[in-house]
Chains A and B, each alone.
Chain A
């Protein structure tokens, strides 16, 4: 069920592949699929509508950077807008601090308190926790049991009913410690008394951080709940728990956007060790049900950043040594050549295996050889006979075989190109190659 959505977004992106002008219908379709993916991931409906509006507008209005295909252009905008929404990962400092935890009932606060204690303990800090949950049966025993496992002191009392008092006394007791994490009872936005309580706990504890714990499965309520918590105690970080399930955590995105904070940690299991720093790229990829989106976007950007290829001249049949070199350079930035070549529509053209073997050392040598050529030779290598080969080899300080090697490679490439032109032509360019490459992700 989940994957189906990821696929549909991928399909929509595929429809953009190979296009060179932006097609309103295709963008519309993509945006619709994107909306579905985000809604399915529980991102706030209004946020989704805003986001998709922005994406649509930018896709249609902004010129794609020269050499970047429509698909990559749109993909990049999608990525930028979502990352923008997500803000930066929340800061975690490794020094003395007090952290106050807040969140809905059962969201995972207590478990996360123990995980955080473990995290800071591993960083060599002296840690203590305070159980200010005076309501839930077994709350103290739960936290106590978890803390005992890692030898972290746990302040609290199963019989005390005043959370404020516990925090006051607890902080006294934890004076000598560096990091203090305060667990609180579960509460929601409409419980006025409890909202009052957490305001007081924040004031009393003078916490450095107030982290909101959000269950990855939290739905459309996320925004409103986060807003209320934020109004009450100024949330400065969000922790998404239960990411080891199948939920996508879109609620956390709503919460982050509501609190203008960032995601600090991810809870990924029931044990004390299951805490991870937040990785925005992984998060967005999961949200959209797509592979590593950033890698794809970066690759597209890098490829474009290189010298522009004269793709058109190339296709009109003019394929010079210079073109080949540029092509190779661009290809090298993208990954193993063979993999890319194998995606090209080369038809029956046979390319010797060693033709793929363009290491950067070899590229370097080609560059040197080409430096010794005249402009006329570079533009039309067919004029190069054996005497010219000797001259070039001498000038470049390589053997004549090295020069022949370059020329042979050029011929192979040229033939491959001709083959392609025969196969419908107009297809051999970086953009297309990018698309093919992206599609295998």
Chain B
């Protein structure tokens, strides 16, 4: 049986970031500057990805704009035929830099916003003046004619301002918006008690999105997914393990999911020394949870197995201690009650910022 090639490559160019979001999806152990891949290696990876069948490249981090070679990386990716999408906090992007990226062939920019209210946004991101810098960057992106997606990461401490975040997307000229609920592993799991939304908040948010979608048809597309803690079925994490996306971490480690480094007992292959084709097709790590053959418990034989692929391996491990279990977000999981219990106890007002060398909760 031949394995269909990935459609997307998520390149985490660096773990460095000026912000300190308490829900950051980077691993607890952040890669240092010295461990990062050099320009030539990234360019080789991009060419290999295009040959393998990847169509879209997502340049992410950390903060990818901290890489001085970013224009060169974009130029190389575009030359390889890849669609390039920059996923950025935008606090370091000024007009000159945006112009350089556009000229290098960048196709699309996604800026994450921590809130619509500047002081709350700066508090959540742990970076004074960050929100104002994002507004300047977004204006420069508009001037450069680059299409913009506004990514709003939502949780208990900002959900009530979702209507203002939608207004912000419109004001900045974004054509697309992602309303992304925090996913709880790594830093976010450690801060879960301070971030989990209430049922009432969630219902209000869903109603807000529904109304905005109807009102803004043809003007703003809104992507929105109900968060796991309030759902009865899990999401197909990454569209299924090793099915459509490959992630390359800053040090070259290849992962089927950006949180996979949280899983024990894996020897993830490294793109420094192994080809993407070989990693995708032959590595034990990519094959371990590919498809449905690995499933046990309620997933094995479930009619939804090919739809959600049993949910998220990282969430299964984080909450049940076994990555092979059904994601507890599924109501059929024997561990499903863990999510309801977490909602009950989520009343903490304070969170811990992500910082290199800092243990969450410490």
Asked if chains A and B come from one complex, the reply is no
Q: Interface of B with A (CB < 8 Å)?
A: none
Q: Which residues of A contact B (CB under 8 A)?
A: none
